[in-house]
Amino acid sequence: MANLLYRLRFTISRSLGLLPSAEAYEAKETALIKDLNRFRSIQLSASLNRYTELKAFVESPELKALKHSLAILVYKGSSESVAEKRLTVLRRNSNLKKYFSFKDSAPYLSFLKVNESVKLKRFEELKTTLNSADFISKKKNFSVKNTNEYALLGEYNQLRNTHEIKQYLKGKQAASEGSTVSRFVEVEKTVNTSTFKEFLKNYKWNNTLEHALEVEYKELDHDSEIKNYYKVKGSSLLKNLEQIKSGNLLVEFATLEEECNSKEFKERKLYLQSTDKFEHTEEHQRLIEFNELCKNEDIVFYTKEVKTGRLLPYSNWNVTFEDDFDAKTLDKSRWLTRYFWGEALMQKGYSLSSEKQHLTDGKNVSLNNSLLKIETKKQTEQGFVWDNKLGFFPKEFKYTSGLISTGQSFRQKYGRFEAKVRVKPQHPVFHAFWMVGDKMLPQITIFKFGSKSGSKFDHGVYLADSTARVNKRVGRLGLPTISEKFAVFTLDWTKDELCWMVNGMVVRREKNSLPDQPMYIVFSSGLCSDIEESKLPVFMEMDWVRVISFDGKS
């Protein structure tokens, strides 16, 4: 019933001009295969691998976390901001200001110079000496009256005023040993010496060594460097300087000054103040790379196909055999031009006993303008015939034709088998596209033109039943345009069904007792009865043939 509906739909579509053209179907399938190949190529590409890697990165929580961490990373409140604020406070500190103003001033530099000088040491020695109790006492008690000489002079004057000395001086009394006169004479002799007189004359404080020390001290006391030294020494500026130097403030200031003026600090500050931190990261470069890949034509194509799933049903498709006949001669490594068993058994061609033509081993097969042509014509030739009872025997044929098959080069179980063909129907000449394995049955006919109606073609499957009889399940459809227009004949073969199509439109399905062994493809033309010579030659032309595997195997 289903096949009747397929046949009816095909007939109506053909009659109404709704049957797709071979070129439209070909373009659609070619585009599909091209897209499949492109999809697979992209799957294996480094760019897709990189895109997948970057996509995982872009969609990762790590990137989101990084962006957030950079967004909240600002200068305000940072350790750098705290350090700079502290440095500003220290720069405004009055004690530090005094310190830096004073430490290089002339008074302080002079103070440092004098502090280790011999002059200061001498001044302080003199000061110590002059302020000593001995010196003060000595100066206080310094008087000629306190000298032995002054006492001797007093004794002299005192003696002179005595009666005894007066008598002596008048010559009335002689000096005797141990007497007062004797003592007077002795003293008088001393006080009348120039040395004694000089001593009394010059015995003054200004002539003493101590006075000289006083003079030296006064000179140093008025010395500008000494005066500056003691002025600085007792100043609050020096006290502040020493306190700053002994404390931690100066070290803190110097550390912060060095830190805040460093190249690293300035760069870090600029970085923290910037609003484009992420743009300077390696991750941003990876994001840019990802966005660029998102615009890549291959990636756009691939992601679209993954999203739509359009190619998913064909994901395991693989072209396993293809020939577009662009060469100048037939590729004999792929094609036999005789029946497979003739090649296998005799290395010669043969015809079946039911056939009227001699298969000329390629002489009736030609290639021109990317088309393969099998010609059936009137021609006398000697050849061999195979008969089930008689076996092989020679025969003279009145007609010649051709055949090509992949019996030696290619066989496949399951998949899509199709060809773009144009034929000149002329009963009783047949043109066929069929498949067979090591035995003649089972056999699949994709098309066979040759009926009396001319433009009709048979399609179906031939099986051997349990009694070795042929069990055929075939259909017949008309295609009046086949002599003018190419048509694409397709067989889809799976373990569950056989499906025949013309230009992509289903015309038959079979689901029971299906072949299950690899088969090779055959294109052949011939005759099953005689024909008027005027009706010959006739041709079958092929633009291309293609086989696709559905399981991904090549």
Is 423 found in the same domain as 494?
Answer: yes
Which among 234, 266, 290 is the end of a domain? 234
Torsion of CA 293, 295, 296, 301, to 10 degrees: 110
Q: How many CB atoms lie within 10 A of CB 445?
A: 21
pLDDT at 177: 64
Is 326 found in the same domain as 288?
Answer: no
Q: How many CB atoms lie within 10 A of CB 15?
A: 11
pLDDT at 172: 75
Which among 202, 234, 266 is the end of a domain? 234
Is 462 found in the same domain as 326?
Answer: yes
3-state secondary structure of 504: coil
Q: Using DSSP, how many helices (H) and how many strands (E) does the chain show?
A: 21, 17
Residue 219 in domain: yes
Residue 352 in domain: no
Is 59 found in the same domain as 128?
Answer: no
Is 420 found in the same domain as 306?
Answer: no
Residue 367 in domain: no
Nearest to 501 by CA among 137, 113, 19: 19
Beta-bridge mates of residue 492: 416, 499
Instruction: Show the domain range for 147.
Output: 105-234
CATH number for the domain spanning 331: value is: 2.60.120.200
Sheet-wide strand order for 403-405: 403-405, 520-527, 429-436, 443-449, 456-464, 470-478
State the DSSP H helix or E strand holding residue 209, giving kind and residue range, or none if neither.
helix 209-221
3-state secondary structure of 403: strand
Is 419 found in the same domain as 540?
Answer: yes
Is 121 found in the same domain as 54?
Answer: no
Is 471 found in the same domain as 327?
Answer: yes
pLDDT at 553: 62
Q: How many CB atoms lie within 10 A of CB 552?
A: 10
Sign of the torsion formed by the C-alpha atoms of 289, 290, 292 and 296: positive
Q: Provide the 8-state DSSP code for 512.
A: S
Residue 39 in domain: no
Is 535 found in the same domain as 409?
Answer: yes
Count Cα neighbours of 444 within 13 Å in the Cβ-side half-sphere. Answer: 30
Residue 414 in domain: yes
Is 411 found in the same domain as 331?
Answer: yes
Residue 35 in domain: no
Q: How many domains does the chain have?
A: 3
| Maximum alpha-carbon separation in the chain | 218
Q: Provide the 8-state DSSP code for 519.
A: B
Residue 464 in domain: yes
pLDDT at 456: 94
Residue 360 in domain: no
CA distance 217 to 257: 47
Is 299 found in the same domain as 187?
Answer: no
Prediction pTM value: 0.69
pLDDT at 552: 65
Is 294 found in the same domain as 175?
Answer: no
- Cα radius of gyration (the chain): 67
Structure tokens at 20: 């797709």
Residues of the chain whose pLDDT is less than 50?
Answer: none
